[in-house]
Copies of this chain bind each other. A is one copy, B any other.
Amino acid sequence: MSKGIANVTVGQPFDDFLLIKSVTRGIASNGKPFLTLILKDHSGEIEAKLWEITKEDEEEFVQETIVKVSGEVRQFRGKNQLKIHQIRPAHAADGVKIEDFLEKSPVPVEELKEHITEAIFQMKNPNLQRIVRYLVKKYEKDLFIYPAATKNHHEYVSGLAHHIVTMLELAKKIQSIYQNLNLDLLIAGIILHDLGKLKELSGAATPNYTVEGKLLGHISIISEEIGKAAEELGIEGEEVMVLKHLVLSHHGKHEWGSPKTPQIREAEILHLIDLMDAKMNMMNRALAQTRPGDFTERIFALDNRSFYKPSYQDYESS
C-alpha cells in the first residue's frame, strides 16, 4: 500500500489512485467552469481543482468515482492542495475498489462477527436472546459495515461493530467486579443500542443523515423495532420494556437526546460504557498522531480539549 495522500510532504509529486468524496462546480475568473474535488484514500483527504472542464469531465468525475491522478502537493492558505497534472477514471483493469480508500476498523470484520455471535450464544435469558438474535439477523448486512457515527468516534467502515465488540469486552470485565449487574441485559443493550443508526445514516462509505434519521433519530427507531420484534416473536415479558428503556436512556441525559434518563442500574452502566469507549476511541486516535511532549489538536466532541502525551521514559513502554 502506498503511504497515502495525507503523508506526502509539500512540494512532493504524487501518482496514485484516489476516491472522489465530493465535487463542487464553480466558474473561474476567466468565465470558465471548474471543479473542486475532495479526494481521499485510507490515509486522509486533500482538495484539488480541475480547471477549464468539459461537459464530459463533469459527467465522469462524480462522487464515489475512483480516479488515477498524478500531480504535486502544494500549500494554499495554510492547507495542502493537490495540483493536478493528469487525471482519469479508474478502469476495471486497474483492479481497485472503493473499500481500499476508506478507513477501516482495526479489528477484522470476521473477528467482530465472531465476538457478537458468541456473546449472543452465551446469553441465558431466552426472551432477550431471541430479540437480539432476530434484530442482528435482520440487519446483519449493514451492521458489519456501517460506521458508528458520521464523525467524532468510530467513524470508519465496521466502526459500529467495532464499538459494540469493545463495549461487550468492557461489560464482561466490569460485571466480573460488580457481580449483581445482569450481564444478559447489558449484552442485549450493548448490541442493540445504536442499531437504529443503520436507518439513521445513509450508508457505510460516505454516510449522511437520512430524513428518517433527522426526524425520528436512531434511539426511537430501534426502540420501536424492539417492540415489533417482540410482537413478532410472541414475547411479552417485562424484559421487552426493560430493554427498550436501556436503549431510550443510553445517551444519559435529556440534553443529549435521550427521552428518558437511566432508571435501571444496567442502563446507567450501559451509558457509562458507551461514553468510555467513544472517548477512548477519540483520544487514542488523536494521540497516535502526536509526539511525546506535544498536545493533540483540540477534539470538539471532548469539550474542545486537547490532550497531552507525556514524554517521560516509561510512559510509552509500560
Contact B125 A318 (CB under 8 A): yes
Residue on B nearest A258 in the bound complex, by CB: B259
Contact A242 B260 (CB under 8 A): no
**Contact-residue size bin, chain A (C-beta under 8 Å from the other chain):** 35 or more
Contact A10 B27 (CB under 8 A): yes
Measuring CB to CB, which residues of chain A are less than 8 angstroms from any residue of chain B?
Answer: 10-11, 24, 26-27, 29, 31, 33, 72, 74-76, 78, 124-125, 127, 166, 169-170, 173-174, 176-178, 180, 182-185, 211-212, 214-217, 219-220, 223-224, 227-228, 231, 237-239, 241-242, 244-245, 248, 254-265, 268-269, 272, 275-276, 279-280, 283-284, 287, 293, 295, 302-303, 305-308, 310-315, 318
Residue on B nearest A286 in the bound complex, by CB: B265
Q: Complex Cα distance A238/B308, Å?
A: 12
**Contacting A254 at CB < 8 Å: which of B178, B211, B257, B268?**
B257
By a CB distance below 8 angstroms, the chain B residues around A169 are 177
Q: Complex Cα distance A305/B71, Å?
A: 41
Main secondary structure of the interface of A (DSSP, over half): helix
Residue on B nearest A248 in the bound complex, by CB: B220
Contact B11 A312 (CB under 8 A): no
Q: A31-B74, A166-B177 are in contact. List 4 more A-B contacts (CB 8 A).
A: A173-B173, A178-B280, A182-B310, A220-B223
By a CB distance below 8 angstroms, the chain B residues around A231 are 228
Q: Complex Cα distance A303/B33, Å?
A: 36
By a CB distance below 8 angstroms, the chain B residues around A287 are 180, 265
Residue on B nearest A27 in the bound complex, by CB: B75
Max chain B Cβ within 10 angstroms of own Cβ: one of A174, A262, A265 = A265
Q: Could you jot down 13 A-B contacts, CB within 8 Å?
A: A11-B33, A124-B318, A127-B312, A174-B174, A182-B314, A215-B248, A216-B241, A216-B245, A227-B227, A248-B259, A254-B257, A265-B307, A268-B307
